[in-house]
Amino acid sequence: MSTATANKVFSERIGRIEVSATLAITAAALKLKSEGVKLSDFGAGEPHFATPRHIKNAAIEAIEKNFTRYTNVAGVPEVRRAVVDRHACDFGSNYAPDECVFTTGGKLALFNAIQVLVDHGDEVILPVPYWVSFKDIIQYAGGTPVYVESREDENFRVTAKMIEAAITPRTKAIVLNTPSNPSGAVVSPEDLESIVRLAHKLGIYVLLDECYVYLNFTGKIVSGGSFTDCKEHVVVLGSLSKTYAMTGWRAGFALGPKPIIAAMSKLQSQSTSNTASMVQQASIAALNQSQECVAEMRSDYIKLRDQVLAGFKTIPGLTCTVPQGAFYVYPNVSAFIGKGGVTSASDLAAKLLSEAHVVVVPGEAFGTAEHIRLSYAVSGDVIDEGVKRMREYFAKLG
């Protein structure tokens, strides 16, 4: 082995990505918590609800019945059938079970889809603000994110026109996340259809992160998979994490053209293999049994969103778009940057934590410099206390 090779520890590709930007703030928050500080925690992007009882029971039963062995890499036929049936029922799609791979969380579905589609030099269109992992996953594959800025005064709306303007001969894929983490913006059904049709015409892949698809508050819920005549160029990336309060279970899926799903399964066969077998059984229960829990959680999120927005109205200088889905608010904090020694949104997030004991995620993680993200998947009491602390802290900044 040559000295140069021996001295080189890390691959070039691991240097292309960063540690999740939320990690520093999470570590600081954990430290304060361990010292006994009571935090108003709006950091975590996960439901505060418990996983519904019937889903837990299905996993317990699977374990008791020793359903604890390896399964097919892409998931047992029943779980893939449950995914495609639920999707067909809710969105009018027509996927077959072999157009579905069940994955260890929605993030892995996204990761694998990008790994099998994106090569060095390929461009991937990514609307801003974006969920933090998109950029890194694209870069890890060697692709170049091409950012499309949405406008705050248009509620961070992403339109077909904006996407079209960013297409070049090197565009391989478009990543869309609707409802969006972090802004809660929803791509209108008309724009979604135009984007999917345009991409299909041009031979570009639309990677639709539909992790929050059931947390759409507009009443008009569509999926990229609804446009069945374009399915050759659509990959739907789904997750049970937020829909069924199952973040820790790691259950997600992709729906797409058979060759893409086969390539993703091949990649999965050389990494995680199948999703935990009892998690597959719990997921079958989640997808096949009553969906009442989903509707209940959605109506609670709408109430919590309205509560946090009403609270923000009591904070002079803070402005916020009205999210149409997911469970995040993305207020603009530019009025406070430059005051009281605050130099940036990141600095503000650090000071909100150390001085007001409020956990938020700075906008830099999502590609914008003047915002902070709060998850309102918390109790109403946490919202009231957190908003009070923010109001007092911002008032002190003058």
Contact call for residue 139 and ligand PLP (CB under 6 A): no
Q: Closer to ligand PLP at the Cβ: 368 or 394?
A: 368
From 77-85, 105-113, 185-193, 259-267, give the range in contact with ligand PLP by CB under 6 A: 105-113
Contact call for residue 179 and ligand PLP (CB under 6 A): no
Please pick, from the candidates 51, 247, 265, 332, the single residue that binds ligand PLP as defined by CB under 6 A: 247
Shortest Å distance, C-beta 198 to ligand PLP: 22
Handedness of CA 148, 152, 153, 154 (dihedral sign): positive
Shortest Å distance, C-beta 43 to ligand PLP: 12
Q: What angle do CA 249, 273, 181 make, to 5 degrees?
A: 45
Contact call for residue 107 and ligand PLP (CB under 6 A): yes
Shortest Å distance, C-beta 378 to ligand PLP: 15
Beta strands 252-255 and 171-177: pairing type? Answer: unpaired
In sequence order, what are the beta bridge partners of 372? 362
Classify the phi-psi angles of 205: left when phi > 0, otherwise alpha if psi is within -120 to 50, otherwise beta. beta
Contact call for residue 386 and ligand PLP (CB under 6 A): no
**13 Cβ partners below 8 Å, 6+ apart?**
140, 142
CA distances from 98 to 11, 78, 186, 285, 303 (A): 34, 11, 29, 20, 39
Q: Closer to ligand PLP at the Cβ: 131 or 394?
A: 131
How is residue 52 annotated by DSSP? P
- What's the gap between Cα 142 and its chain centre? 21
Shortest Å distance, C-beta 286 to ligand PLP: 13
Shortest Å distance, C-beta 391 to ligand PLP: 28
Read off the tokens for 358.
């409020």
**Would you give the binding string for ligand PLP spanning residues 149-178, x where CB under 6 A is met?**
----------------------------x-
Q: What is the dihedral of CA 137, 139, 142, 143, to 10 degrees?
A: 90
Rounded Cα–Cα distance for residues 186 and 188 (Å): 6
Classify the phi-psi angles of 351: left when phi > 0, otherwise alpha if psi is within -120 to 50, otherwise beta. alpha
Shortest Å distance, C-beta 185 to ligand PLP: 12
CA distances from 261 to 80, 106, 144, 265, 322 (A): 12, 14, 23, 6, 36
Please pick, from the candidates 95, 102, 131, 330, the single residue that binds ligand PLP as defined by CB under 6 A: 131
How is residue 126 annotated by DSSP? E
Contact call for residue 127 and ligand PLP (CB under 6 A): no
Contact call for residue 239 and ligand PLP (CB under 6 A): yes
Contacting ligand PLP within 205-224 (CB under 6 A): 209, 211
Contact call for residue 373 and ligand PLP (CB under 6 A): no
Shortest Å distance, C-beta 241 to ligand PLP: 3
Contact call for residue 71 and ligand PLP (CB under 6 A): no
Rounded Cα–Cα distance for residues 185 and 207 (Å): 17
Beta strands 252-255 and 100-103: pairing type? Answer: antiparallel
Please pick, from the candidates 241, 268, 274, 280, the single residue that binds ligand PLP as defined by CB under 6 A: 241
Total residues interacting with ligand PLP, rule: CB under 6 A: 13
Please pick, from the candidates 52, 97, 127, 252, the single residue that binds ligand PLP as defined by CB under 6 A: 252
Rounded Cα–Cα distance for residues 349 and 120 (Å): 35
From 34-42, 104-112, 281-289, 374-382, give the range in contact with ligand PLP by CB under 6 A: 104-112
Shortest Å distance, C-beta 27 to ligand PLP: 18
- What's the gap between Cα 83 and its chain centre? 19
Handedness of CA 172, 177, 181, 184 (dihedral sign): positive
Please pick, from the candidates 21, 41, 45, 157, the single residue that binds ligand PLP as defined by CB under 6 A: 45
Shortest Å distance, C-beta 396 to ligand PLP: 32
Contact call for residue 105 and ligand PLP (CB under 6 A): yes
Contact call for residue 301 and ligand PLP (CB under 6 A): no
DSSP percent split of the chain into helix, strand, coil, nearest 5: 50, 15, 40
Contact call for residue 268 and ligand PLP (CB under 6 A): no
Instruction: Name the residues that contact ligand PLP, by CB under 6 A.
Output: 45, 105-107, 131, 177, 181, 209, 211, 239, 241, 247, 252
